[in-house]
Chain A
């Protein structure tokens, strides 16, 4: 089972009759393990609906949503909660760490909620914090961290304990371009290491870190882009001595 996420004809509609609003028309989408997929579209295009369905925060009107091999339609609230603690992590635009807990305690929390032993949870948190290069700030409280640092902690929390699937909703929206790039590098690395991520963003430069960019319009996928063949120019090092031996 290499698919991390799979939508099969999944749709979502609200209301009925002449007030029917289709937020997402029947949609097929697969995100394989190792893949980073970005979803772009204007507000109202269905990208938040899509992310909510994949995250089990909402249920499709028709079709199936399969996450980590499990059909979400067959899980009850308890099953979904387990899935969210063990398989799927979230990163949001808002830097929603708990202010009363240190960075390490924030990252440990999902594992403790899942009943892990304190020592096990703490070790896993340290591994996750090291992956986002935050080991040296693990004992700081969120208020003492910059926006970029807080988002790195949030990413560590979303991946802690071997959760392989990350759902990210505008994770760079509140960050400057360098910190936004850092967040994208971390998501990219997570996927290169065999994880998977579905990223919703309106920022083309950040979407460009993905293997595929899915364009949504009015609740439908209208196109998908993959990297172009390499740029025509070849790599040189512009700062090497310009006038070295010919």
Chain B
């Protein structure tokens, strides 16, 4: 995902400048996605070029102690329309993720002479440890106040949980495969 919709969504709340957008974006995503300020400026320039934001002249006057060279942007009607269309449409993955873990396990199975059970277990332990860390954060959160923070933690937890389930499924599949292999060999020996 590009950050353009993230910036548009923040500018839909109120006009502001690049540095403020960077900190607001990072806060909105629970601190899980750090932005590079150069990326923010480049994205703002493209949004302006496409007519989705414009320089906000009313807000550009420097107030107490603020830098005079900052430029405030505000969302345009076309920008609002694109933003609403983005919110209204489902997110469709662009293709199977090129996930290192998936590929590592597939290659390990194909190699034939590796301790795949060991590889799966080391990953399972590491993912569970991560899951435990996220869950500690969740246990400390305030269910009344921390709605978005808890939703972010849930997303991380469910993804880690899915990884463990996949590892368990791999192990079960490999065991079944090996059992069938043995049975076939025994049959052909009879």
Contact = CB atoms under 8 A, between A and B. Distances in A.
B134 A239 contact: no
Nearest to B20: A246
Interface centre among A42, A215, A226, A236 (most CB of B within 10 A): A236
Given A222-B121, A228-B133, A233-B32, A208 B26 contact: no
Say what secondary structure dominates the interface of chain B. helix
A136 B178 CA distance: 54
Interface size class of A (residues with CB under 8 A): 35 or more
Given A223-B122, A223-B125, A235-B149, 16 more contacts: A205-B131, A205-B135, A205-B161, A208-B131, A208-B134, A215-B121, A217-B121, A225-B132, A227-B132, A227-B135, A228-B132, A230-B133, A231-B130, A231-B156, A235-B30, A246-B19
Interface size class of B (residues with CB under 8 A): 35 or more
23 contacts: A42-B168, A185-B139, A188-B139, A204-B165, A208-B134, A209-B132, A223-B121, A225-B132, A227-B129, A228-B126, A228-B130, A228-B133, A231-B133, A231-B134, A235-B137, A237-B27, A237-B146, A238-B30, A238-B148, A239-B147, A242-B24, A242-B28, A246-B23
Contact of A226 (B132, B161, B172): B132
Nearest to B127: A204
Contacts of A40: 128
Contacts of B129: 225-228
Contacts of A42: 168, 171-172
A203 B165 CA distance: 8
A243 B10 contact: yes
Contact of B161 (A204, A209, A228): A204
Contacts, number: 119
A236 B128 contact: no
